[in-house]
Structure 1
């Protein structure tokens, strides 16, 4: 029980992801087959559906926006502030996140890359951003692969030429799919940054203490 208490935030979100992902696959398969029948084509099984362009496009156009949002937020919070927000470092004050790991006293539980130093440390001190950047680029690529397949099927049906994933990146359809997700991600981030200045949720790490003054930053 102690393990789940100490890691409950991760496991709860991982479980919710699995539940909603399975729901997306099941309903997506049903929707895909319904569309196939309307066009006089055969439906596909669940496993086959996972390899269709429709599934890949629907999945990775959403994932890319999530990774872009988190990667951008990591970078922006290094340099930018929002006075009074629980999402920001305190303007004009030292933050432990800014400490140079090369100047700390090495202890037994100090992360191995810090002990090693050099290039390994450079990669480690930027590893969170590197992770989300790679995931974003991979999602864009898979969005292009899946999207081009679905887009090409529609093109062929209307007597027009199919497109490659690279060509699909230049279509308005690809950018519409991306922008419609990206805008919502940054809208939500802007909202939580500003709302956390004035609103509270007792017990949440994403909120300042209920009695704290609005303009006091608790990053």
Structure 2
């Protein structure tokens, strides 16, 4: 068990932090939502009831969509673009291991199945990481809109205004404001990491160059 925990510690720690913060978001969100309901003369909701509201769905997936978009774009951009001196960039002026053609790899029992199979399976597998992130982004984007239109229509009805459809909600400034305010922050954070890793270090982290490495050295 100790060996397994050491081998998977980074994933386990991140999933644990996600669950802790997600529970915190749900509990505080339910309390905030109930306070808002009571301020408008409506009954408070339980935590389980809150999970079925458009407010919860909208808040959750508008954040998830920006994370998946940022990671998907970052994976794709680092294929083609470089940043001299950054640990987040592939090395410049020489081939990186990531650029090797898998069709020329020596096949063994440990070789991933799509490479042994070849054809379309290999073609998809070559881009499977970015495909995963963009599929998750699209799903989150649509769920954000689904939760948003539900919450928007509740507000409309409480003010005696007509409701709108899902497609109409996609054209509202509210939906795009929610999306852009999250997207811009994600790419700001990535930009800071890419630029800061040229000059700053974190000993022991694979996201940093070795502490004594010159600033101009590119790649981990």
Normalising by the residue count of structure 1, what TM-score does the alignment of the two structures yield? 0.98
Per-residue deviation, residues 30-80 of structure 1 (Å, max 9, x unmatched)? 000000000101111111111100000000000000000000001100000
Alpha-carbon distance between aligned partners in 2 of 1:190 and 1:92, rounded to the nearest angstrom: 22
RMSD: 0.7
Please give the alpha-carbon distance, in whole angstroms, between the structure 1 residues aligned to 2:69 and 2:164.
25
Residue in structure 2 matched with residue 150 of structure 1 by the alignment:
151
Q: Deviations over 1:16-40 (max 9, x none)?
A: 0000000000000000000000010
2:132 counterpart of 1:131:
yes
Question: In structure 2, what is the equivalent of residue 6 of structure 1?
Answer: 7
CA offsets 1:190-216 (integer angstroms, 9 cap, x no match): 000000000001011110000000000
Q: Which aligned pairs between 1:1-219 and structure 2 lie closer than 5 A? A: 1-219=2-220
Equivalent pairs, count: 219
How far apart, in 2, do the equivalents of 1:93 and 1:164 lie?
Answer: 53
Deviating beyond 3 angstroms after TM superposition, the runs of 4 or more aligned structure 1 residues are none
Structure 1 residue runs without a partner (length 5+): none
Cα distance, 1:5 vs structure 2: 0.7
How far apart are the structure 1 equivalents of 2:66 and 2:78?
18
Q: Distance in 2 between matches of 1:165 and 1:24?
A: 26
Provide the TM-score with structure 2 as the length reference: 0.98
| In structure 1, C-alpha distance between the alignment counterparts of 2:219 and 2:133, rounded to whole Å | 25
The runs of 5 or more residues in structure 2 that have no matched partner are none
2 CA distance for matches of 1:15 and 1:163? Answer: 39
Cα shift at 1:125: 0.8
Once the two structures are TM-superposed, the CA of residue 121 in structure 1 deviates from its matched residue by 0.6
